[in-house]
């Protein structure tokens, strides 16, 4: 060995011997902290082609007779592409994160509002070019009690609780829940959760929704949006979820949300006229799913109520009309409802030597109404009440990949045109590390 190399090792040895014992231990802990065996990398993604056999013109509801024989239109989309990173620090401390690319890129979009006025809207769902869907630090004291702090999923409803593309059969997320509440709903807050035998519980405190962002087409869905670099939290909300797994192959869950939503924005109104206005939003959901013997059956029911909807509607209609304002300036319903169910059967279930391959034939039904008006409402949006029937197929060549195809049709009230469509999609969901 050369003298220069020997000298380097000698200097290193002297340095280590001179280092305090606790510092040497910290160095060893640091090496252990960044062990690749504790790192998890995964995610999910979806790509969809859809051919809509109806007009998407902004006046298709207010002047439905003009668009009865429309040729329709096609579109391609990347609904969600998510990268998941997690790490186990040891001693019960873990970190989780999800970075989401929604619709192929940033979260700023121009949309056409389908109502009487037919407006182009510059919609800001959340500031930034990509969405940080999750980032949390968790301390686990055992299966029965965990504390999670940071940006977390709000598990209200079946879709928010199970939003990965291999946990529903349609090419897009089920339409009912997706159109009346945030989806995927994610907020910065604190969560207490655990598993006790066949029961799982979760309780959360998060920022309340913002009533300025409510509208007729999506009820409170956009209330979690923020065009700023921060999320306004003048009001806080509570979330509770309970799940039961005591019946073999069956999962039953209920969840609820409550929070005051008025004046939960960067600009507030402190006049006496609005001093007692709360705009309390209450949401309750119930769901079940069964999986066994090649059969999958799921169902959900969601109902939400907005207090002082008439006052909120009048206030929103008079919001700032500047072109850059993010407010929809729309009436909002006093209530919203969504329910649905699906059934699927794997026709390869009884076949031999198929490995992880599965071929599900499925049918789904959804009903929702995002605008159930308050009693004195003058303007009614009857096109918000919809029934949707879907028939399709899901093929899993391997466990992590699914190819989807479906035909669906929305049934609206008789004065409007029904909306048939065909979709073809491919998706994956899984982890790249063990």
List pLDDT tens digits, range 344-385: 999 999 998 888 899 999 999 999 999 999 987 876 789 999
Contact 428, 409 (CB under 8 A): no
Comparing CA positions, the residue from 47, 50, 49, 48 lying closest to residue 421 is: 50
All structural domains of the chain, each given as residue ranges with its CATH number in brackets, are: 1-33 (no CATH), 78-384 (2.40.160)
The residue written with tokens 């007729």 in the block is 216
pLDDT tens for residues 80-97?
A: 999 999 999 999 999 999
Average pLDDT over all residues of the chain: 87
Give pLDDT tens digits for 255-293: 999 999 999 998 888 888 998 999 999 999 999 999 999
pTM of the model as a whole: 0.86
pLDDT given for residue 106 in this prediction = 58
Q: Is residue 426 reached through a cis peptide bond, with omega within 30 degrees of 0 on the bond before it?
A: no
**370-397: b (≥16 Cβ within 10 Å) or e:** bbbbbeebeeebebbbbbbebebebebe
How far does CA 53 lie from the centroid of its chain? 27
């Amino acid at each position: 060995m050369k003298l220069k190399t020997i000298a380097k090792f000698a200097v290193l040895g002297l340095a280590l011997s001179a280092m305090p014992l606790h510092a040497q231990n910290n160095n060893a802990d640091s090496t252990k902290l960044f062990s690749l065996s504790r790192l998890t990398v995964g995610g999910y993604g979806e790509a969809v082609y859809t051919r809509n056999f109806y007009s998407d013109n902004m006046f298709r509801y207010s002047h439905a007779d003009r668009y009865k024989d429309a040729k329709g239109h096609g579109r391609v989309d990347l609904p969600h592409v998510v990268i998941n990173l997690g790490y186990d620090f040891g001693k019960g401390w873990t970190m989780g994160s999800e970075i989401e690319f929604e619709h192929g890129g940033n979260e700023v979009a121009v949309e056409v509002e389908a109502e009487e006025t037919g407006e182009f809207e510059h919609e800001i769902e959340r500031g930034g070019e990509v969405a940080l869907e999750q980032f949390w630090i968790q301390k686990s004291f055992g299966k029965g009690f965990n504390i999670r702090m940071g940006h977390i999923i709000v598990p209200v409803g079946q879709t928010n609780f199970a939003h990965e593309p291999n946990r529903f059969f349609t090419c897009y997320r089920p339409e009912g829940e997706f159109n009346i509440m945030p989806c995927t709903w994610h907020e910065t807050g604190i969560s207490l959760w655990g598993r006790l035998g066949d029961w799982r519980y979760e309780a959360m405190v998060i920022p309340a929704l913002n009533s300025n962002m409510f509208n007729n087409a999506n009820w409170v869905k956009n209330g979690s949006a923020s065009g700023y670099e921060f999320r306004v939290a003048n009001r806080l909300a509570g979330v509770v979820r309970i799940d039961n797994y005591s019946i073999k192959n069956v999962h039953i869950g209920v969840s609820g949300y409550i929070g005051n939503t008025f004046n939960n924005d960067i600009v507030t109104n402190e006049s006496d006229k609005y001093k007692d206005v709360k705009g309390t939003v209450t949401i309750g959901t119930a769901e079940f799913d069964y999986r066994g013997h090649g059969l999958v059956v799921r169902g959900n029911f969601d109902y939400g109520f907005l207090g002082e909807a008439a006052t909120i509607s009048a206030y929103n209609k008079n919001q700032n009309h500047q072109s850059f304002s993010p407010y929809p300036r729309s009436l909002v319903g006093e209530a919203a409802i969504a329910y649905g169910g699906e059934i699927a059967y794997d026709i390869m279930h009884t076949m031999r030597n198929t490995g992880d391959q599965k071929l599900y034939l499925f049918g789904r039904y959804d009903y929702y109404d995002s605008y159930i008006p308050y009693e004195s409402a003058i303007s009614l949006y009857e096109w918000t009440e919809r029934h949707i029937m879907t028939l399709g197929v899901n093929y899993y060549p391997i466990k992590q990949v699914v190819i989807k195809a479906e035909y669906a049709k929305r049934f609206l009230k008789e004065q409007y045109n029904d909306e048939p469509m065909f979709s073809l999609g491919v998706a994956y969901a899984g982890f790249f590390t063990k």
